[in-house]
């Protein structure tokens, strides 16, 4: 017997089916709401209570701090898988066999060149341009050089567009960094793994050889896995809604990059390090910054803390915090801001303001400390988040298109002027 929800308005009752997911989440299916009530809609700014879709990609339970990609726990994947394997899992739904992963990687390598004319677009940016703005522009520009990536009506077309962007995005990300650093734009080396190759494109000195460091490769690989997907977050919802108009994959991803740039979302990892550095410069007085974070008159927020869904520890933050200790120790690096971060965490978790609001460290709180230890500059932290989230965005866009979801077009409640007559300017 399927469950129903009953809504009563002005004495009239309306019934709506209840949808139940495989993890026992339930939702009221209101597809018929406007039609059956003569135009009544719901109102939910920020969509805090609204499900935009049914999805089989990522499950998270904010109360229990659970995160799974296609049923596999983030803890197991971070420990046992590599990033390209996880990308395949998210996009196609199953962990690849060795042959499938090798073919996926060789198809990506075959597309890892970027048209030389894209460099002319990059040249047009000032060195001071934020890499996220450069990346969203270059990703959108890629459409012009890969027109077949737009009309992905067949799974083959979609696959070709997917391997193209997985191949070219790391190149563009490395180029955005090298442009700021005043370094010549470098290409990768097909003999290297996906993440190792990216690090080579980033850090190979013009006059020297690139030496892979397994510790660095493994640390970045794990960080990218932890960022790979997170159900219907702000940037993923952006990718979905842009893609729902049947805009191409690259255009949809470019929109997602811009959404991720915001300091309340992916931009938080850069804001966290800037906050920790400010605390260090200020003599390490965390109590002053905690007071600012709690002061409603002060716009300052404790960056890297709080989450729309996690009202418990962000499981990714736990893994990254442990990895930060390991990476810094293995690289023989002392970073004072790691101790400041741990101190802030301790204080916040004992402070009723944070405890009552269930504000815990999120994925962005410790990640910048590892990026910095790997030699990645702070303005490249959010591009690292984008590099990690790329397969998740692709998987969600692909699912939305394969499920033939309708174009996204929310309604509103109008609160403006009621009808009035035009007044000639001489009478205003
Ligand atoms: C990501 O959605 C995702 O899954 C995102 C992400 C992903 O993988 O895609 O997980 C990645 O974006 C992580 C979040 C990174 N952002 C930050 O670290 C920025 C700091 N955090 C906040 O701005 C905030 O916590 C949000 C934006 C993350 C969540 O905001 P919500 O859910 O809209 O919560 P809210 O603003 O309604 O806050 C509830 C209360 C408010 O106080 P009251 O009005 O109840 O008194 O908590 C307070 C807020 O003022 N609060 C904070 C705070 N976060 C919330 N107070 C101080 N510092 C903070 N960080």
Distance 25 CA to ligand 1 centre (A): 23
Mean pLDDT, residues 351-359 taken together: 95
Ligand 1 binding pocket includes 316 (Cβ within 6 Å): no
**Average pLDDT of the residues of the chain:** 96
pLDDT at 1 over 80: no
Instruction: Tally Cβ neighbours within 10 Å of residue 358.
Output: 13
Ligand 1 binding pocket includes 304 (Cβ within 6 Å): yes
Task: Calculate helix-pair angle for 214-226, 381-402, nearest 10 degrees.
Answer: 50
The protein residue whose alpha carbon is closest to atom 4 in ligand 1 is 233
- pLDDT of res. 345: 93
Distance from C-alpha of 61 to C-alpha of 23, rounded to nearest angstrom: 9
Q: Which of 307, 386, 388, 390 for a ligand 1 pocket mutation test, highest count of atoms within 8 Å of Cβ?
A: 307
Mean pLDDT, residues 30-42 taken together: 96
Ligand 1 binding pocket includes 382 (Cβ within 6 Å): no
70: left (phi over 0), alpha (psi -120 to 50) or beta: left
Distance 145 CA to ligand 1 centre (A): 38
- pLDDT of res. 152: 83
Q: Which of 60, 274, 306, 389 for a ligand 1 pocket mutation test, highest count of atoms within 8 Å of Cβ?
A: 306
Mean pLDDT, residues 145-155 taken together: 88
Q: How far apart are the first and last CA of the chain?
A: 63
Confidence class for position 151, pLDDT limits 50, 70, 90: confident
The protein residue whose alpha carbon is closest to atom 48 in ligand 1 is 357
Ligand 1 binding pocket includes 303 (Cβ within 6 Å): yes
Catalytic residues: 307, 364
Distance 308 CA to ligand 1 centre (A): 6
Confidence class for position 217, pLDDT limits 50, 70, 90: very high
Distance from C-alpha of 264 to C-alpha of 254, rounded to nearest angstrom: 18
Q: Kindly report, residue by residue over 166-178, the tens digit of the pLDDT.
A: 999 999 999 999 9
Instruction: Tally Cβ neighbours within 10 Å of residue 339.
Output: 13
Ligand 1 binding pocket includes 358 (Cβ within 6 Å): no
Q: Which of 296, 373, 377, 293 is nearest to 333 (CA)?
A: 373
Ligand 1 binding pocket includes 68 (Cβ within 6 Å): no
pLDDT at 153 over 90: no
Distance 359 CA to ligand 1 centre (A): 8
Distance 60 CA to ligand 1 centre (A): 17
Confidence class for position 116, pLDDT limits 50, 70, 90: very high
Q: Are 260 and 236 in contact (CB under 8 A)?
A: no
Confidence class for position 42, pLDDT limits 50, 70, 90: very high
Distance 116 CA to ligand 1 centre (A): 41
Confidence class for position 347, pLDDT limits 50, 70, 90: very high
Distance 306 CA to ligand 1 centre (A): 4
Ligand 1 binding pocket includes 388 (Cβ within 6 Å): no
The length of the chain, given as a count of residues: 428
Confidence class for position 252, pLDDT limits 50, 70, 90: very high
- pLDDT of res. 285: 87
Ligand 1 binding pocket includes 362 (Cβ within 6 Å): yes
Distance from C-alpha of 217 to C-alpha of 213, rounded to nearest angstrom: 6
Q: Kindly report, residue by residue over 301-322, the tens digit of the pLDDT.
A: 999 999 999 998 899 999 999 9
Distance from C-alpha of 313 to C-alpha of 317, rounded to nearest angstrom: 7
Ligand 1 binding pocket includes 348 (Cβ within 6 Å): no
Q: Where are the alpha helices (DSSP H) in 146-210?
A: 155-181, 194-203
Ligand 1 binding pocket includes 376 (Cβ within 6 Å): no
Q: Kindly report, residue by residue over 63-90, the tens digit of the pLDDT.
A: 999 999 999 999 999 999 999 999 999 9
**Which atom of ligand 1 lies nearest, measured to the CA of 308?**
32
């Amino acid at each position: 017997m399927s469950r129903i929800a009953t809504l009563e308005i002005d004495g009239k009752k309306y019934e709506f089916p209840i949808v139940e997911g495989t993890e026992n989440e339930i939702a009221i299916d209101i597809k018929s709401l406007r039609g059956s009530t003569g135009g009544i809609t719901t109102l939910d700014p920020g969509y805090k209570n609204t499900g935009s879709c049914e999805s089989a990609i990522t499950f998270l339970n904010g109360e229990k701090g659970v995160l799974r990609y296609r049923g596999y726990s983030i803890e197991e994947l971070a420990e046992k898988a590599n990033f390209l394997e996880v990308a395949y899992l998210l996009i196609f739904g199953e962990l690849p066999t060795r042959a499938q992963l090798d073919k996926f990687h060789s198809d990506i390598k075959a597309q890892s060149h970027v048209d030389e004319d894209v460099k002319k677009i990059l040249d047009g940016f000032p060195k001071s341009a934020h890499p996220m703005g450069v990346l969203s522009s270059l990703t959108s520009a890629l459409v012009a050089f890969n027109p077949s990536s737009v009309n992905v009506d067949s799974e083959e077309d979609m696959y070709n567009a997917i391997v193209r962007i997985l191949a070219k995005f790391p190149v563009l990300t490395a180029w955005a960094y090298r442009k700021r650093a005043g370094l010549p734009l470098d290409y990768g080396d097909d003999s290297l793994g996906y993440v190792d190759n990216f690090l080579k494109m980033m850090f190979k000195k013009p006059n020297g050889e690139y030496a892979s460091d397994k510790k660095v490769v493994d640390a970045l690989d794990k960080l990218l896995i932890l960022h790979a997907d997170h159900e219907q977050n702000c940037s993923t919802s952006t990718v979905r809604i842009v893609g729902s108009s049947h805009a191409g994959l690259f255009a949809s991803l470019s929109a997602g990059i811009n959404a991720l740039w915001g300091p309340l979302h992916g931009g938080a990892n850069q804001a966290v390090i800037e906050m920790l550095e400010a605390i260090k410069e200020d003599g390490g007085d965390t109590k002053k910054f905690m007071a600012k974070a709690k002061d409603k008159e002060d716009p300052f927020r404790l960056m890297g803390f709080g989450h729309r869904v996690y009202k418990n520890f962000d499981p990714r933050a736990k893994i990254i915090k442990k990895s930060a200790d390991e990476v810094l120790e293995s690289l023989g690096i002392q970073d004072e801001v790691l101790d400041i971060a741990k101190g802030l965490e301790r204080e916040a978790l004992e402070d009723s303001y944070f405890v009552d609001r269930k504000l815990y460290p999120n994925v962005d709180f410790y990640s910048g400390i590892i990026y910095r230890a790997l030699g990645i500059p702070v303005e490249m932290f959010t591009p690292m988040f984008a590099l990690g989230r790329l397969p998740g965005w692709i998987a969600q866009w692909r699912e939305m298109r394969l499920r033939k979801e309708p174009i996204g077009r929310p309604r509103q409640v109008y609160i403006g002027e009621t009808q009035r007559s035009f007044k000639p300017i001489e009478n205003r």
